[in-house]
Structure 1
Amino acid sequence: MKPAKFNYLRPSSIEEAVQYLSEYGEDAKIISGGQSLIPLLNMRLSTPKYLIDLGRAEGLGYIREDGEFLVIGALTKHCEIEKSELVKEKCPLLSEAIRWVGHAQIRNRGTVGGSIAHGDPSAELPCVITALRGEIVIADANGEEVFCPEEFFLTYMLTSLQPDQLVKEVRFPITKPSSGSAFVEVARRHGDFGLVEVAAVVDLDADSRFLSVNLAIGGVNSVPTPLEDVEKLLIGKEASEEIYEEAGNLTMEIVEPESDLHGTAEYRRELSGTIVIRALKQATERAQGGGGL
């Protein structure tokens, strides 16, 4: 199929873009990389009267350190994150997770803002920012607003973005050099969205006890989910097979997967526990080895 007829707008700045959004509201859609929206347009699941292309909007593509955050502009492509030495140094979890996003062709076109705004609970970037408790900066004609992931992701493919708003940038907290991180995903085929994915960052003391733990899971609930109860379970405990097993069992109690054509709810639940254990082990080994990946 081909898209329904639409009016094409190409703003040269974020100010012009939000002005279009303010004017056309629910009749408009933002397009950046197009990796999620183009299929929806082609299948006519989305039929906007106005398509606002951010491709030439200045000042939305960047990766920089800003205080305690690694700040990434909405138009930054996945491949730019993949190649960034700053990302590898300051947020190795993101550097690892970005390799799981689709195929090289998709990473060459897809953008950070597009992935976050799309709100797919199986996507990698929402899982990472949820684990790290990052921030999402939203812009409209009246200025900017900052959301935490739990405020932003509402349910499957639905975010708190209003028709006159767009994602401006995403802020990932910088990881301590002593921390270890891991991103583990299971998918039916390479490049598919994950059936289950887990993002983990841990910090240990000299006796391999957990000082801090950040865990999030994707693909099993309607939104990427921080595993706060599992984090609390681990704090102060020594890394061991027993505590990993407890963490996996608790995860299976927390998640609420549904059956679909890719797998049953029971399969996803079991897989969730297994993947949490695997991610924790990898992150712990990396922390014991000096941090990073």
Structure 2
Amino acid sequence: MSSADASPAASVTAVIADDERLMREQLRARLAEVWPQLEIVAEAKNGAEAVDLVKAHRPDLVFLDIRMPGMTGVEAAREIVQLGGDDDDWSGCEIVFITAYDEYAVEAFEQGAADYVLKPAERERLQVTVGRLKKRLAQRRGEPAAGNGAAAAPAVPIEQLLKRLAAQMNPAAAKPTLRWIQATVGSTIQMIPVEDVLFFISDEKYTRVQTAQFEALIRKPIKELLEELDLELFWQIHRSTLVNTKAIAGITRDFRGRQLVSVKGSNEKLEVSRSYTHLFKGM
């Protein structure tokens, strides 16, 4: 798919993050060749700076070097994903990893939650990435995807990919998967098997743990649960909500067009924020 396939009406913005200046310059130059309509709005030298720039500019894309000093690209990506979930006026951005490590890049591609560019960026490979990105952005905007390039990757929670990549890069820091929830039920403390939880919903002080039989309260926020839960079992569908995928009964839309998840064993319907609607494409 060539750059000529882009929709001329839609402007696209991006942030580039790499601790090597020459790599940033090379990627910028290659992108200008294969996607002249793309506007690079900012460049970062590390992960923390990338998060701040994404917060400030709210771009459509962010190119992240997977290994940067301080906050890595994977750590920055996790923060950026949360930014999209926290902003009602911005549905987040597509993430592209810049890497010299094939094993990380291949897994990112196979999971379908992100794309990658190998260092040094080559025109031919970058054209493939650009083709995929245009299709993803068209899906986000509800536009028909132009051209006959590679099909859009399947919807997979990006949190799941990032957790796996983080564990690969630093196995010693990988945490065991949470199996039990110690929660307050009335005046008692109960140990709840994680697989019995239908969903978690957080407010400012507590997180509600809902099972088919009862609800309980814990003080652990959603961000910490994301670090400890099996993200193939629990999907984040809102900045404050995690749902057990085995408990999903169906997806509906309300009169405002919002996606609502119906849950087995509960009459409650859970709102899906715009950042996570891609999880239910085709449903």
TM range (shorter): under 0.3
- The TM-score normalised by the length of structure 2 is 0.26
